């Protein structure tokens, strides 16, 4: 009996201890939040390279395949139309790994004008910027090649560094990102040459009924300069994106560093980002290539070195500042690496990249497999964001 009382008293003390420990937790409000995750869009695509939507309809996604096809995916039904919305494969070359259909942008007035734009490697291997027009933009399921109008052709001396960025800016102008022409270390010094369109951010006005105009406030309009140039000194911007009046430029590095530049639209006018004398924050290591920072050149806000570590990589994929429905990601700029399949983010504040996060585990594939060749990010009309996995043939939506 004495032993039984002792056991009972010990048990009561144990229960009281558990109450003191856990009752406050039970009474407190539940603070746990669901983590963001990825949800697959459609089935398997052939080397998807980009995804976007019409400016008036987030439900309809346009998924770009590198070989030249664009597929229309209906998010409400979960179905991808069998017939491509656009089939440019007869005009696109994929002779080199970085060539293909690389960019797609819908005009802000697409619901009325039916106009959209593409950036692709043509059969000669040159980059071509073209315009298409559909007659019934709100209901169009396909677009005929007959409506194609060529606006600008960029001669490419080599098969790589083709850029491909295409997006309308906050000023309604079309911005185009071009690579330096390829090979290694910009052998023709194109990026610093203001008479050459390679290694640049171009800015054109595509509002005329035909062709385009050069905006009067573009900075380089002298007789020895190419007037379409708005900024220069880039190696291979992959990719860029606007957030309000700030442009984020992810520029693929040479042998040492990957970099991200952030500038507002006023700073962008005439900006020099330093390539080829500079790679990231340093002098380009190659002999007779690197040098002092050009006068007034803008340094990147973020760099990471080459390697396969947790914060290393070999080829950057620029993303977007997150403005979608997942609260935990609000205001974060997402980016990844093509070779080292990791996803990171930072917040841009007072001219600096802060609050760095590694989202690789958070935004992992739901099936537990590793990503294969991440290619880019995309956003829709509701600002929801997508991750494009080229090697795995998958498009993933970031959801709560």
For 50-76, write each residue's pLDDT tens digit. Answer: 999 999 999 999 999 999 999 999 999
Sign, Cα dihedral of 77, 80, 82, 87 = positive
In the structure, what pLDDT confidence band is assigned to residue 3 with cuts at 50, 70 and 90? very low
In the structure, what pLDDT confidence band is assigned to residue 25 with cuts at 50, 70 and 90? very low
Residue 5: predicted pLDDT: 45
Integer Cα distance of 342 and 364 in angstroms: 9
| Among the listed residues 101, 115, 203, the one whose alpha carbon sits nearest the alpha carbon of residue 152 | 203
Hey, how many other C-beta atoms are within 10 angstroms of the C-beta on 293?
15
Task: Identify how many contiguous H helices and E strands the chain contains and give both numbers.
Answer: 3, 27
What is the Rg, in whole angstroms, of the alpha carbon atoms belonging to the chain?
A: 25
In the structure, what pLDDT confidence band is assigned to residue 10 with cuts at 50, 70 and 90? low
Residue 17: predicted pLDDT: 52
Computed over every residue of the chain, the mean pLDDT equals: 93
Calculate ∠ Cα 41-44-45, nearest 5°. 95
Take residue 249 and report the two structure tokens written for it. Answer: 């430029």
Structure confidence by residue, pLDDT tens digits, 162-197? 999 999 999 999 999 999 999 999 999 999 999 999
48: CB partners within 8 A, 6+ apart = 63, 64, 65, 66, 375, 388, 389, 390, 393, 394, 395
Residue 3 is inside which H or E element, if any? helix 2-27
DSSP 8-class letter at 153: E
């Amino acid at each position: 009996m004495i032993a039984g009382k002792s056991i009972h008293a010990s048990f009561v003390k144990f229960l009281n201890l558990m109450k003191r420990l856990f009752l406050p937790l039970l009474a407190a409000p539940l603070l746990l939040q669901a983590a963001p995750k990825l949800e697959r869009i459609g089935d398997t695509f052939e080397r998807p390279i980009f995804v976007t939507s019409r400016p008036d309809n987030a439900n309809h996604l346009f998924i770009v395949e590198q070989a030249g096809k664009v597929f229309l995916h209906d998010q409400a039904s979960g179905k991808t139309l069998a017939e491509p919305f656009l089939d440019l494969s007869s005009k696109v070359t994929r002779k080199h790994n970085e060539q293909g259909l690389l960019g797609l942008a819908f005009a802000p007035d697409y619901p009325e004008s039916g106009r959209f734009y593409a950036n692709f490697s043509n059969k000669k291997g040159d980059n071509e910027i073209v315009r298409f027009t559909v007659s019934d933009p709100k209901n169009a399921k396909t677009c005929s090649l007959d409506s194609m109008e060529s606006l600008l052709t960029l001669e490419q001396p080599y098969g790589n560094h083709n850029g491909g960025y295409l997006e309308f800016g906050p000023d309604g102008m079309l911005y185009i990102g071009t690579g330096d022409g390829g090979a290694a270390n910009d052998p023709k010094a194109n990026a610093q040459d203001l008479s050459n369109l390679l290694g640049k951010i171009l800015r054109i006005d595509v509002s005329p009924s035909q062709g385009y105009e050069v905006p009067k406030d573009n900075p380089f309009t002298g007789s020895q300069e190419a007037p379409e140039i708005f900024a220069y000194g880039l190696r291979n911007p992959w990719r860029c994106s606007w957030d309000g009046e700030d442009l984020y430029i992810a520029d693929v590095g040479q042998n040492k560093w990957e970099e991200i530049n952030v500038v507002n639209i006023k700073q962008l006018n005439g900006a020099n980002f330093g390539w080829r004398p500079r790679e990231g924050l340093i002098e380009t290591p190659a002999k007779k290539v690197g040098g002092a920072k050009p006068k007034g050149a803008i340094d990147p806000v973020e760099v990471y070195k080459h390697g396969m570590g947790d914060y290393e990589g070999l080829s950057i994929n620029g993303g977007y500042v997150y403005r979608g429905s997942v609260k935990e990601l609000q205001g974060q700029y997402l980016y990844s690496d093509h070779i080292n399949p990791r996803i990171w983010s930072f917040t841009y504040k007072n001219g600096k990249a802060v609050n760095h996060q590694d989202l690789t585990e958070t935004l992992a594939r739901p099936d537990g497999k590793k990503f294969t060749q991440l290619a880019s990010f995309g956003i829709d009309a509701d600002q929801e964001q997508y991750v494009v996995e080229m090697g795995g043939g998958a498009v993933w939506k970031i959801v709560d």
